[in-house]
Amino acid sequence: MILLVPLIKVIVVVLIVLGIVSYLVLAERKISAYMQDRIGPNRVGPKGLFQPFADIIKLVLKEMIVPENANGFIHALAPMISITVAVGALAVIPFGNYIVIGGQKISLMVANVNIGVLYILAMSSLGVYGITLSGWSSNNKYSLLGGLRSSAQMISYELSLGLSLVGVLMIDGTLQLDKITMAQSAGLWNIVYQPLGFLIFVTAAFAETNRLPFDLPEAEPELVGGYHTEYSGMRWGLFFLSEYTNMIVSSALMVALYFGGWSLPFINYAAMAPNLAALLQVITFFAKIGVLIFIFMWVRWTLPRFRYDQLMNVGWKIMLPLAILNLLGTGAVLLLVK
Amino acid sequence: MTNNGNGRKGPQLTLWEKLYFPEIIHGMSITLKALFRPKFTRQYPEERWVPPPVFRGRPVLVVEDETNVERCVACGLCARVCPSLAIQVQAAETELDKERYPELFEINMLRCIFCGFCEEVCPEEAIIMSKDYEMTFSNSKDAIFGKDRLLTPASQLKDRLEFLKQYR
Amino acid sequence: MPKVTIIEDPVSGKSKTVEVENGTTVIRAAAKVGVEIPHFCWHPGLSVAGNCRMCLVEIEKMPKLAIACATQVADGMVVHVNSEKAVNARKAVLEFILINHPLDCPICDEAGECNLQDYTYSHGPGHSAFQEAKNKKPKRVPLGPNVVYDAERCILCSRCIRFMDEIAKEPTLTFVERGDRVFIDTFPGKELTNPYSMNVIDLCPVGALTNREYRFKSRVWETSSTEAVCTGCARGCNTNVWVRNNEILRLTPRNNPEVNNYWICDNGRLNSFKHVNSAERINSPMIRKDGTLQDVGWDEALAHAADALKPFSKDEVAVLGSAYSSVEDNYVLQKFAKQVLGTANIDFLKHEVAGDEDNLLIRADKSPNAFGAREVGVASPKNVDASRIFELIGAGKIKALYVMDDDAAISKEIEDLLAKLDLLIVNSWVSSKTTQLADVVFPSATFAEKYGTYVNFLGRVQLSKPAVSTLEQERVPGRFNMSRLDNFGSAFDQWNKGPRRNVRSSWEIISAIGNLLGGKMRYQSAQKVFDEVAQSIPAFKGLSYAKLGERGALLVEGALGKKSKQEALAR
């Protein structure tokens, strides 16, 4: 029983998230098309709704080519690291409060760790291994450059990412995401207290997920795809999956930290039947994630890519000082208030 | 941040622009508006485009309707002017008044760049650009169009012939 | 000697002064200082007609413009080639000529090498004041078996008429009719069958006279032209070989005042390259296995030939060189015979057709290099000559024969003799009776596929360049003259699909066998072979490819053998 419930949770979460990911790909293609006065994929199924299946079938059936002098083992390992880490981070996301089955309260988190935020940060920094290793093992200069850029970028932005979070943690005094959510459902959302921190966090999150305008590790025009130049078939598909999963994790983290998680203002879940409340909470949570992911895509199809030196400038000379400033400011205000 | 990496000064930005975020919002508002603009995508295989006479499609050889003889005299100027060396002509003698005709006329459509030089140089208005833009081949041999695929009756090329008469 | 001043550029007025002999015409004096005066009817090899009026120039102190082709120089004469008057006059002349000349350059074979086309571009008015319909005249009139006449294109320069009168000495052609109806025709009952008739095609400044065989075959700009030597007879006329798609399309004469002037005979023009394009070409080394000749690789065939030659003693082998082959081939062959095989059984077969000769170009000896083969030592009084070699074969004394680039089976008897041999090795261009009897056959390069020198019957050594690429020799700039398609086409183009044959020069084949038999014959190129010829054979002393140039050079006279000298004088 102790093992069974988490196992079911894991399976459900992974399946749902991967299902969402495949449709996120379609959503991204559609959104980009509409922003460019096009229609986008519309051939497979009604309005192109079955496109993801076609994509998946193609990826699975496609030959996985390994370059002649590549390190085969690491080449195969790298995408696995990426996807594992990305999915692993989902473990501490509170999709809702709890459901009641057979009189037993089951939390809608896979694992309620008391260092949830820290765990996510740790996982996302592990993600760089997948990219760096894939870049190195491909025996391709473009891949290698992509991998190097990725590690440099991660190091630069992880600092700001972490520091921007500390404000929230100071306000709520906990690292557990469900507790942070609870705290927000009782009062105002943290975005009200931490607008600057949020801005920094969003920016850093873009960099962490390698999305435009910070997709330097891939940078098609200069690196022909960067670290995944030499990947094809499902291995490439795994990188793709992990990118979108990372996007979900980042969005979920933002929702949980700044937008009240599954809570909605003026709605009192406690007055409802617990399972109905849980359903509403999950829907709310995913709706909020959806909005943020739309912003992710919106930004991607609007902004051009940063140059490498600009990326470093922004990271070290602007975001880091601002994050520290935000931290000091929050601390000072907290001291005054208490 | 005016240094754009290569030592030269970039454009001078105002303070508002330097704040960066307002400009991002501005850009994003543009793309957001684009989401709701009407789309012009043509549903291609169902809905085909009929090009105007100026369009330079696949080059073809004109066959006179009355006599059923191709206009080409195999002078080879098209082959000479072709920048991608796509055309090969082999002349031969004929009893007709025009004395020579192309025994072999081949255009390698993998090489053709649709520049229309052949049409422009042709002294007989014998090779002209048609409206055909749909060409697929499954091997490189199929891409070499011989006389069988190039010869086209003048009646099917009226638009282009009229256009050439008017503007050339 | 009178001095003439030629002023080409009317703007700068820069003048060139030239001193020429009395009686020289202005056009020749100008040519001497590199000034070309446009002309149609004048030809350096023919008499002056002065009927085209294209070469009008302004000469100081002359009241009217004068034609440069017929005006003789006088001391102190000042000629303005491009003064306003002269230029306008030439424009008018061109406009007149073009009144009735059809603008059918796309159809006309001359396009690209047409004087009228070129001059119309460079000197023409660019428009015409005449809007009337052009004259209709007979087209596609066969004047003879090889020449087709188009009266509409004819500008009536009379070069062809004068050629038949003056050079071929068989007046066949004449003007008929008058005014704008005039055209050229043969005299009644006559046909243009003279052995030199096709020179009128080259002479024609427009496309009125065309080569029936070459007609519509190719455009001039698609072909490459290579300086070669005609191998049709011992005259060794200088030629240009025109190649497209690695196939020889035509042969035209190249001016060499020491040999053929501007002319070539029809037989040489039409037939001397036929064997290069022939479908009978041998395309691979062959070895007789189980009674039939079978294709093998070069290395195998060379090793087989060397092994097969080993058991025979020096008196049991004989070698036949070839007067069709180059000096280089024959030199390497005789070196092979004398130093490697150690035999004196070496000669070449003569190919003389008694009586088939004339005073202009055609020689009775139908091979281009008999003189050269003799001089390098393939034939000499010290050697056993060909008739004796055949006798010895008949007697069973000679058991092995090496034949280079020739069909030794000149008669039924000799064919039977060849069948008696224990070993017959043949280098050949095409399959022949000899190759059918051979035990080893090597495909060898023709004159058009290799660098080679030929010594004509006057002792003039002339260099012929390769025009056709072989399987082992890519068509590369530097070695070959390139056409536009050769330069810019890729290996995947249709026009590059012409046959490239698996042949080697005879000197390459023979030196390879010689080396396998322990000889020291390591040559990198025909040029290196010739350098050795120049060092070791006194008659060739001091000669090199660079020295031969475009016109060739005479053998060193004092060093010639007695017999050959007599022959040279005999003409």
β pairing state of C286-289 and C292-295: antiparallel
Question: Chain A closest CA to B38's CA: distance in Å?
Answer: 7
Per-residue burial over C178-194, b = 16 or more CB atoms within 10 Å of its CB, e = otherwise: eeeeebbbbeeebebeb
User: B59-167 sits in which CATH class?
Assistant: alpha beta
Question: Chain A closest CA to B136's CA: distance in Å?
Answer: 21
Specify burial of residue C41 (Cβ count, 10 A radius: 0-12, 13-18, 19+).
buried
Q: For residue A278, give every residue at least 6 positions away whose Cβ sits within 8 Å of its Cβ, in sequence order, or none.
A: A96, A97, A98, A99, A108
The Cα–Cα gap between A308 and A318 comes to 15
Which has the closest alpha carbon to A1: A95, A87, A116, A102?
A102
Residues in chain C within 8 Å Cβ distance of B86: none
Q: Across-strand partners of C403? A: C320, C426
What per-residue confidence (pLDDT) applies to B7?
66
The Cα–Cα gap between A331 and B2 comes to 34
Q: Using CB atoms, which residue from B5, B35, B40 is nearest to A35?
A: B35
Interface contact flag, C107 B108, Cβ < 8 Å: no
Q: Topology of C286-570 in CATH?
A: Rossmann fold (3.40.50)
Q: Give, for all 338 residues of chain A, the pLDDT tens digit.
A: 677 877 888 888 888 888 888 888 899 988 888 888 888 888 888 888 888 888 889 888 988 888 888 888 888 888 999 889 888 888 888 887 777 777 777 777 777 778 888 888 888 888 888 888 888 888 888 888 888 888 888 888 888 888 888 888 888 888 888 888 888 877 788 888 888 888 888 888 888 887 878 887 777 777 777 788 888 888 888 888 888 888 888 898 888 888 887 878 777 777 777 778 888 888 888 899 999 999 888 988 888 888 888 888 888 888 889 889 988 988 898 888 87
The Cα–Cα gap between C108 and C305 comes to 52
Q: ipTM of the assembly? A: 0.81
Locate the chain C residue with the closest alpha carbon to B105: C494
Q: Quick check: is A56 in a domain?
A: no
Q: For residue A169, give every residue at least 6 positions away whose Cβ sits within 8 Å of its Cβ, in sequence order, or none.
A: A117, A175
Q: Using CB atoms, which residue from A36, A303, A309 is nearest to B24?
A: A303
Whether C494 has its CB under 8 Å from any CB of chain B: the answer is yes
The Cα–Cα gap between A68 and A77 comes to 17
The Cα–Cα gap between B51 and C493 comes to 31
Whether C359 has its CB under 8 Å from any CB of chain B: the answer is no
Number of domains in chain A: 1
Question: Chain C closest CA to B83's CA: distance in Å?
Answer: 10
Interface contact flag, C494 B98, Cβ < 8 Å: no
- Number of inter-chain CB pairs under 8 A, B vs C: 42
Specify burial of residue C251 (Cβ count, 10 A radius: 0-12, 13-18, 19+).
buried
CATH of domain C3-95: 3.10.20.740
Interface contact flag, B35 A34, Cβ < 8 Å: yes
**pLDDT tens per residue, range C205-232:** 999 999 999 999 999 988 999 999 999 9
The Cα–Cα gap between A278 and C489 comes to 73
Residue C167 predicted with pLDDT over 70: yes
The Cα–Cα gap between C16 and A145 comes to 68
Residues in chain C within 8 Å Cβ distance of B77: 106
Q: Using CB atoms, which residue from A39, A307, A309 is nearest to B39?
A: A39
What per-residue confidence (pLDDT) applies to A265?
77
Q: Quick check: is A32 in a domain?
A: no
- C3-95 and C286-570 agree in CATH topology: no
* Residue A202 host element (H or E): helix A195-208
Residues 109-148 in C contacting B (C-alpha not used; CB under 8 Å): 111, 139-140
One DSSP character per residue, C504-561 reads: B-HHHHHHHHHHHTT-----SSHHHHHHHHHHH-GGGTT--HHHHTTT-EEPPGGGS-
Question: Chain B closest CA to C102's CA: distance in Å?
Answer: 12
Residues in chain B within 8 Å Cβ distance of A37: 34, 37, 39-40
**pLDDT tens per residue, range C446-455:** 999 999 999 9
Phi and psi dihedrals of C398, rounded to 5? -95, 125
Lowest mean pLDDT among A150-159, B66-75, C108-117: A150-159
Q: Using CB atoms, which residue from C217, C221, C488 is nearest to B85?
A: C488
Residue C16 carries which side chain, given as an amino acid letter?
K
Domain boundaries, position A263: 67-337
Interface contact flag, B41 A38, Cβ < 8 Å: yes
Choose the mutation target among B6, B20, B29, B31 for the interface with A, i.e. most A CBs under 10 Å.
B31
The Cα–Cα gap between C466 and C338 comes to 29
Q: What angle do CA B1, B7, B9 make, to 5 degrees?
A: 55
**pLDDT tens per residue, range C500-555:** 899 999 999 999 999 999 988 999 999 999 999 999 999 999 999 999 988 899 98
Q: Quick check: is A47 in a domain?
A: no
Q: Using CB atoms, which residue from C106, C140, C488 is nearest to B75?
A: C106
Whether C489 has its CB under 8 Å from any CB of chain B: the answer is yes
The Cα–Cα gap between A120 and A250 comes to 9
Which has the closest alpha carbon to A204: A327, A315, A51?
A315
